[in-house]
Amino acid sequence: MANYSKEILQNNVFNLLRFSGITYEQFANILEISLRKLKYVKNGESEFSIADVSKIAIFFDKSFAEITTKKIEVDRNFRNELLNIHRKNVEYRKILEDRPSIPYAIEFILVFDSEFENSELEVKQILQVFRKYGWDYRSPSVSKELKKMKNIILSKPHHEKKGTNLYSKAILQQNV
């Protein structure tokens, strides 16, 4: 059996969290820890307890050994897989049926949406894309997250509207 690795655990947990679309606050509530502790763990200033790891394994439907000893590959459809796994757990199902985190909505939904895929959109148009999925977000929050995601989202000033940006999907360069 492989040895426990704090680094592997931390990377796996935050990657699974990213693919699940739940917020840090929701995840902290699931683990019954403070949001502050979760952020400390994220920054390497604290560690998950054995009880935390057990809850993490249950929520993400992974074994203790799996999340602590090897890098986990996660499918883009992971949120729906979790919803199916937890369909009988009212608390978890509600969290997974609620709107996802903004970074998840951008990375896993917006960049694949036909209205955005080959277009340049303003934040208000991006909000309309999210509304068709039943999600309401605040414009400043979406704008802030779009600007953070430079690896998948391009931002440029609108050529006609001062103070407005246009966002588009970044073209990933493939090594030939």
Q: What is the mean pLDDT of residues 42-53?
A: 94
Dihedral angle sign, alpha carbons of residues 59, 36, 95, 32: positive
Burial class (CB in 10 A: 0-12, 13-18, 19+), 43: exposed
Helices (H), the chain: 6-20, 24-31, 35-42, 50-60, 64-69, 78-85, 90-97, 102-104, 114-117, 123-131, 139-148
> pLDDT confidence of 158, banded at 50, 70, 90?
confident
Measured in residues, the chain has a length of 176
Q: Hey, which residues does 168 pair with through a beta bridge?
A: 154
Q: Report the share of the chain in percent with pLDDT over 70.
A: 96
The whole-angstrom separation of Cα 79 and Cα 97 is: 9
- The mean predicted confidence, pLDDT, of the chain is 92
pLDDT digits (tens, 9 = 90+) for 100-133: 999 999 999 999 999 998 899 999 999 999 999 9
Look at residue 3 in the predicted model and tell me its pLDDT. 77
Residue pair 146/100 in contact (Cβ under 8 Å)? The answer is: no
pLDDT band per the 50, 70, 90 thresholds, residue 2: low
Using the predicted structure, report yes or no on whether residue 175 has a pLDDT greater than 50. Answer: no
Whether the predicted pLDDT of 173 surpasses 70: no
Q: What is the pLDDT of residue 176?
A: 33
The answer to whether the beta carbons of residues 52 and 114 sit under 8 Å apart is no
Tell me the mean pLDDT in the region 10-29.
Answer: 96
Q: Residue 31, Cα to own-chain centre: how many angstroms? A: 17
| Structural domains of the chain, with CATH | 6-97 (1.10.260.40), 102-169 (1.10.10)
Instruction: Enter the pTM of the model.
Output: 0.87
